[in-house]
């Protein structure tokens, strides 16, 4: 779609002391969907879980779409 950009992110989660899931900072940016999936796969081996996401953004109007899950492994928490 004209005027939109795909933002590709990888998030990792670890178990928090209270037993819940906590987002590991920082979020990792990826250059392609394949790269995002590969990074998430590697992180899933080191953390409780990982997810690769794509969000389509329209900078001209300041909007972004709901995240599209490209890959998910293990346990993940809230990321929206």
Mean pLDDT by 10 residues, the chain (80 residues): 83 95 94 97 97 88 86 89
- C-alpha to C-alpha distances, 3 to 7, 19, 54, 64, 68, nearest whole angstrom: 13, 42, 16, 12, 19
Render 20-50 in DSSP notation, one character per residue.
SEEEEEEEEE-SSHHHHHHHHHHHHHHSSEE
Name the pTM for this structure. 0.86
Would the CA dihedral through 79, 27, 10, 62 be positive or negative? positive
pLDDT at residue 65, rounded to an integer? 85
pLDDT at residue 80, rounded to an integer? 67
């Amino acid at each position: 779609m004209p005027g939109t950009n795909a933002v590709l992110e990888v998030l990792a989660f670890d178990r928090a002391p209270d037993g819940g899931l906590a987002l590991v900072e920082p979020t990792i940016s990826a250059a392609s969907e394949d790269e995002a999936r590969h990074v998430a796969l590697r992180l899933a081996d080191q953390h409780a879980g990982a997810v690769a996401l794509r969000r389509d953004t329209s900078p001209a109007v300041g909007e972004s779409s709901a995240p599209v899950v490209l890959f998910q492994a293990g346990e993940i928490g809230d990321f929206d």
